[in-house]
Amino acid sequence: EEQAGGLVKTTKQVMASFKKIKDAAKVGDLVNLRKLLEEGKEVTLSLGCDFVKTQERLNFDEAGYLEGKAFRQELLTTAQQMGVNLYEHDGYLFSYPVLLRILHKERAVAIDRMRENRLRPSVLVKRLKEVQNKPLRFKPQTFLEMVFTAYSIVVAGRGKHLIGKGTVIPLLELYQLLTLLPWQANEYTRQEFGR
């Protein structure tokens, strides 16, 4: 960000220099024009050097950075500083009711399946806060009815004598039943079911 700010400042200097050259040419001030052309050349070269420095500084392995622990840790630290509860589990970051997944190969993240290209941790945490403050689209009544129906099917499959006895069924079995269709497991991941 600081480097980009420096480029903007140098670009403004180049523009000011070019404006002076234009003004000198407009009135035919040949003496001043030669001096201004030389100054313009220096400022333009300076801009080129600043650009190369910025490019070199930003030339790093983005995918490796996003795949590693450093980016996750930076997100977790920023979230804590901004008062947002963010937790990591199974390669996902959770901030109820939001699920955040880092897409390192795409150099992006997914916030509840919505792709986000802005990767600055403070921007992402602010976005998480915005999503959290929106009214929930999730309808708990419908979800609980669906889970109960799946539970009833699994219990009945184990024997009719178990119906109504409070039989314990692992959530993973319910998830497997709810995602029997081939594409459903991709659309509805275990992490999303768990949240």
CA distance 119 to 104: 11
Q: Is 103 exposed, middle or buried (0-12, 13-18, 19+ CB in 10 A)?
A: middle
CA distance 148 to 128: 31
Those residues of the chain that have pLDDT short of 70 are 138, 183-188, 190-195
Domain ranges of the chain: 2-59, 63-133, 140-194
The pLDDT of residue 29: 86
CA distance 153 to 165: 14
CA distance 155 to 163: 6
The pLDDT of residue 183: 67
Which run of H or of E encompasses 110?
A: strand 108-111
The pLDDT of residue 124: 92
The pLDDT of residue 12: 93
First to last CA, the chain: 35
C-alpha radius of gyration, the chain, whole number: 29
The pLDDT of residue 75: 93
